[in-house]
Amino acid sequence: MAGLFSLDLGGAGRPGLGTCRPVPRTFIDSARFRVDPGTRVTTHWRDGCLLMHVESLRTCALNAVGSRVWSLVEGGRTLDEMVGVLAEEYEATASLIKVGVRSFLSDLLSKGFIVDVDAESNGRLPRTSLRG
């Protein structure tokens, strides 16, 4: 689990390469996420995949671990379920994995690639979580 999950490749009005910087966001361990309808994904890009949000033109390159987390999001897994799966697949403690996955999901949420299903259904977020 060492290293980054992704690289921020920029978007409209945001030139340049840089690492994704998570925006602090709290959600419960049973939080479930879904892919935002505006997100497109390539399945084969280097050792992971490439995300693009068609409205904001934001792109994000995911490494192999980030791509694995992405597949768990697509599968409708909760945060706790993701941590359990990853703890079985990687040599890291569940607590370390949870910190990294929570930060990564927070970053994906802030960039509009995914939506927090519970927050959306409770009316706390617009239908798409895209935030400029």
Closest to 82 (Cα-Cα) out of 59, 71, 92:
71
Asked if residues 92 and 1 have their Cβ atoms less than 8 Å apart, the reply is yes
Residue 129 domain flag = no
Number of domains in the chain: 1
Beta bridge partners of 32: 78
Please work out, in degrees rounded to the nearest 5, the angle formed at the alpha carbon of residue 73 by the alpha carbons of 37 and 66.
Answer: 105
Cα distance between residue 68 and residue 4, in whole Å: 13
What per-residue confidence (pLDDT) applies to 21?
Answer: 44
Residue 78 domain flag = yes
Residue 91 domain flag = yes
Closest to 97 (Cα-Cα) out of 5, 33, 19, 34:
5
Q: What is the CATH number of the domain that holds 66?
A: 3.90.930.60
Tell me the percentage of the chain whose pLDDT exceeds 70.
71
Residue 21 domain flag = no
Average pLDDT, the chain: 78
Query: What pTM value is reported for the model?
Result: 0.75
What per-residue confidence (pLDDT) applies to 28?
Answer: 83
Residue 99 domain flag = yes
Cα distance between residue 35 and residue 5, in whole Å: 17
Query: Could you list the residue range(s) of the whole structural domain that residue 49 is in?
Result: 7-12+30-118
Residue 126 domain flag = no
Residue 2 domain flag = no
Residue 51 domain flag = yes
Residue-wise pLDDT tens digits, 121-132: 776 544 443 333
Look at residue 105 and tell me whether its pLDDT is greater than 70. yes
Asked if residues 78 and 30 have their Cβ atoms less than 8 Å apart, the reply is yes
What per-residue confidence (pLDDT) applies to 5?
Answer: 58
